[in-house]
C-alpha cells in the first residue's frame, strides 16, 4: 500500500480526490494539503509516495509545488488533474517539474487506478500491492447457509482478533445479515453507491452499523429492484475502501452474482464456496469451482465448506474430493434447532466449547485471524481442531 496526499483548491475537490484514491485499493493514507506556498511541506516533513495536485487557476503555482516536492523527495510521484485539456507548452512545463501524469477532472477512479498500477509495476514495488484482507463467502446454490456462515464467522473473527472486522452484505435479492444480527441499519450498500464521489474511509464508517460483538456491517439492500444500480465496479470500489480501513473484510456474496464479479474475486485472500452434501449442492459445487478456476481465480484461494454436515456424508464427500482434486476445507455440523433459534432471535451462535458447531466456527475464525489455537491443559486441542475436517 502507498501513502498519498492531495492538494486541491477547495475542500470539496479535495474530498473527492481523497475518495478516488482510497477507492483504488492501493492507498493506505491520504494527507490533505493546500496548493499555496505557505502550505508546502517543510524540509524534513515527510512526503508521501504520491501526490495528486489540482491544476486550478495557476499552473505556475501547481508546478512550483511539484518541483518543491521533488526536491524534498526525488522519488515522489506527482499527478496533476485538470478540468481543461492542457496546452502542449503546459505539458512540457509539467514534465520539467517532474509531473508524471495528467488526469482529466473530475478524475475517473478507474483511470487513476490504472495510473497507480503502472507506477507500482514500473517501480517493481511489492509493498504497493493492496493488502489482502477480503474473505468472500458464496453459496454453490441458494439456501445452503451462506449468510449464516458469513455472519457467524464475522462475529467470531471480531471476538477472537479484537480487530476491526467489516461485513459487506452483497446478498441477493436482498441482504439478510442485519436481520440475523438483530440490527436496525440506517444506511445500506445503496447509500454507499449513491455517494461514491465522497466514499472514503470516514464516510464508509458512517454507513456501518455496529454489532455488540464489534463486527461492523454495511447492510445489504432490502429492495431487490435496486440491484440494477449496484454495478460490480461500484461494489469493488466499496471493497477497496473497506480493505483500506479495517483488518478483515467479510463479504456475503450469496449464490447469484454477475460474471463481472470474478475480477473482484481475484483480489480476495480466500473465496469460500458453501455447499450441502446432497446431490444438487455437490453437482453445482463442481460446476462452480470449474467456472471460478477458469475465470482466473487461483484455485489455492478457493475453500470448499460443507454446511449441515453429518458423518454419513463422508462417503459422498470422499468421491467429490477426488473429482475436484481438492480437500474439503471445513465441515460445519448440522444443528437445525440451534441455528434456527439463533437466526430467529437475531443472536449469533455462542454456545461454549463443548458445542461442535460453535467450536468449528471459532476454529475457522482463529485460523483466518492468524491466532494460534491454544492447547487444552489435558493435551487435547481446545477447539477440537481439524477433527471434523
Ligand X SMILES: Nc1ncnc2c1ncn2[C@@H]1O[C@H](COP(=O)(O)OP(=O)(O)OP(=O)(O)O)[C@@H](O)[C@H]1O
HSE, side-chain direction, 13 A CA sphere, residue 174: 8
167-186 footprint of ligand X as x/- string (CB under 6 A)? ----x----x----------
N residues, the chain: 389
Q: Say how far apart CA 105 and CA 357 lie, in whole Å.
A: 53
**Cis omega (within 30 of 0) for bond into 106:** yes
Q: Say how far apart CA 106 and CA 16 lie, in whole Å.
A: 9
Stretch that binds ligand X, among 16-24, 42-50, 107-115, 139-147 (CB under 6 A): 139-147
Instruction: State whether residue 260 is helix, strand or coil.
Output: coil
Helix (H) or strand (E) holding 60: helix 59-72
Stretch that binds ligand X, among 181-189, 201-209, 257-265, 335-343 (CB under 6 A): 335-343
Residue 204: all three cell numbers together:
464508509
Residue choice 357, 365, 366, 368 for contact with ligand X (CB under 6 A) = 357
Q: Say how far apart CA 147 and CA 348 lie, in whole Å.
A: 11
295-324 footprint of ligand X as x/- string (CB under 6 A)? ------------xx----------------
Please identify which residue in the block is written with the cell numbers 485499493.
Answer: 25
Binding of ligand X by 143 (CB under 6 A): yes
HSE, side-chain direction, 13 A CA sphere, residue 227: 15
CB of 259 to Mg ion, least distance (A): 20
Binding of ligand X by 284 (CB under 6 A): no
CB of 212 to ligand X, least distance (A): 20
Binding of ligand X by 348 (CB under 6 A): no
Q: In what side-by-side order are the strands of the sheet with 209-210?
A: 209-210, 216-218, 165-169, 248-254, 134-139, 270-276, 302-309, 328-333
- Of the pair 109, 254, the CB lying nearest ligand X is at 254
**Size of residue set near ligand X by CB under 6 A:** 22
Report residue 38 CA to chain centroid gap: 38
Residue choice 76, 81, 339, 366 for contact with ligand X (CB under 6 A) = 339
Binding of Mg ion by 236 (CB under 5 A): no
Of 342, 73, 372, 32, which Cα lies nearest the Cα of 202? 32
Residue choice 25, 109, 254, 388 for contact with ligand X (CB under 6 A) = 254
Binding of ligand X by 148 (CB under 6 A): yes
Beta strands 77-82 and 99-104 are parallel
Residue 374 CB coordination number (10 Å): 10
Indicate which of ligand X, Mg ion, none lies near residue 11 (CB less than 5 to 8 Å, by partner kind): none
Binding of Mg ion by 113 (CB under 5 A): no
Residue choice 104, 142, 327, 346 for contact with ligand X (CB under 6 A) = 142
Binding of ligand X by 255 (CB under 6 A): yes
CB of 120 to ligand X, least distance (A): 36
Residue choice 15, 41, 128, 139 for contact with ligand X (CB under 6 A) = 139
Of 90, 83, 91, which Cα lies nearest the Cα of 16? 83
Residue choice 147, 150, 334, 363 for contact with Mg ion (CB under 5 A) = 147
Binding of ligand X by 109 (CB under 6 A): no
Residue choice 171, 244, 281, 348 for contact with Mg ion (CB under 5 A) = 171
Stretch that binds ligand X, among 194-202, 259-267, 281-289, 333-341 (CB under 6 A): 333-341
Residue 217 Cα distances to 179, 204, 331, angstroms: 11, 10, 26
CB of 348 to Mg ion, least distance (A): 15
Which residues contact ligand X (rule: CB under 6 A)? 139, 142-148, 171, 176, 254-255, 307-308, 332, 334-336, 339-340, 343, 357
Amino acid at each position: 500500500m502507498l501513502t498519498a496526499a492531495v492538494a486541491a483548491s477547495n475542500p470539496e475537490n479535495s474530498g473527492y480526490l481523497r475518495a478516488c484514491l482510497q477507492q483504488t485499493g492501493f492507498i493506505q493514507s491520504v494527507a490533505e494539503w493546500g496548493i499555496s506556498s505557505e502550505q508546502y511541506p517543510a524540509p524534513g516533513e515527510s512526503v508521501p509516495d504520491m501526490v495528486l495536485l489540482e491544476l486550478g487557476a495557476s499552473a505556475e503555482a501547481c508546478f512550483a509545488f511539484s518541483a518543491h516536492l521533488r526536491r524534498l523527495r526525488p522519488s515522489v510521484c506527482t499527478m496533476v488533474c485538470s478540468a481543461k485539456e492542457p496546452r502542449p507548452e503546459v505539458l512540457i512545463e509539467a514534465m520539467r517539474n517532474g509531473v508524471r501524469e495528467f488526469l482529466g477532472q473530475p478524475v475517473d477512479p478507474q483511470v487513476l487506478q490504472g495510473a497507480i498500477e503502472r507506477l507500482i509495476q514500473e517501480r517493481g514495488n511489492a509493498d504497493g500491492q493492496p493488502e489482502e484482507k477480503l474473505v468472500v463467502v458464496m453459496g454453490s446454490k441458494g439456501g445452503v447457509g451462506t449468510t449464516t456462515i458469513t455472519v457467524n464467522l464475522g462475529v467470531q473473527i471480531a471476538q477472537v482478533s479484537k480487530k476491526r472486522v467489516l461485513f459487506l452484505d452483497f446478498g441477493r435479492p436482498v441482504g439478510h445479515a442485519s436481520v440475523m444480527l438483530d440490527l436496525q441499519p440506517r444506511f445500506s450498500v445503496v447509500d454507499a453507491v449513491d455517494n461514491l464521489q465522497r466514499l472514503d474511509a470516514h464516510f464508509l464508517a458512517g454507513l456501518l452499523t455496529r454489532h455488540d460483538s464489534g463486527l461492523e456491517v454495511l447492510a445489504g439492500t432490502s429492495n431487490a429492484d435496486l440491484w440494477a444500480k449496484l454495478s460490480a465496479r461500484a461494489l469493488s470500489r466499496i471493497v477497496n475502501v473497506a480493505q483500506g480501513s479495517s483488518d478483515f473484510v467479510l463479504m456475503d456474496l450469496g449464490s447469484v452474482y454477475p460474471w463481472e464479479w470474478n475480477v473482484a474475486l481475484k483480489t480476495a485472500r480466500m473465496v469460500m464456496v458453501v455447499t450441502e452434501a446432497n446431490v444438487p449442492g455437490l453437482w453445482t459445487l463442481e460446476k462452480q469451482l470449474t467456472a471460478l478456476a477458469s475465470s482466473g481465480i487461483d484455485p489455492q484461494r478457493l475453500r470448499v465448506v460443507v454446511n449441515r454436515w453429518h458423518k454419513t456424508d463422508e462417503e459422498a464427500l470422499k468421491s467429490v474430493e477426488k473429482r475436484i482434486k481438492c480437500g474439503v476445507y471445513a465441515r460445519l455440523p448440522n444443528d437445525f434447532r440451534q441455528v434456527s433459534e439463533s437466526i430467529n432471535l437475531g443472536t449469533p451462535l455462542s454456545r461454549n466449547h463443548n458445542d461442535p458447531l460453535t467450536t468449528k466456527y471459532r476454529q475457522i475464525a482463529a485460523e483466518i485471524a492468524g491466532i494460534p489455537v491454544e492447547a487444552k491443559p489435558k493435551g487435547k486441542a481446545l477447539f477440537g481442531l481439524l477433527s471434523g475436517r
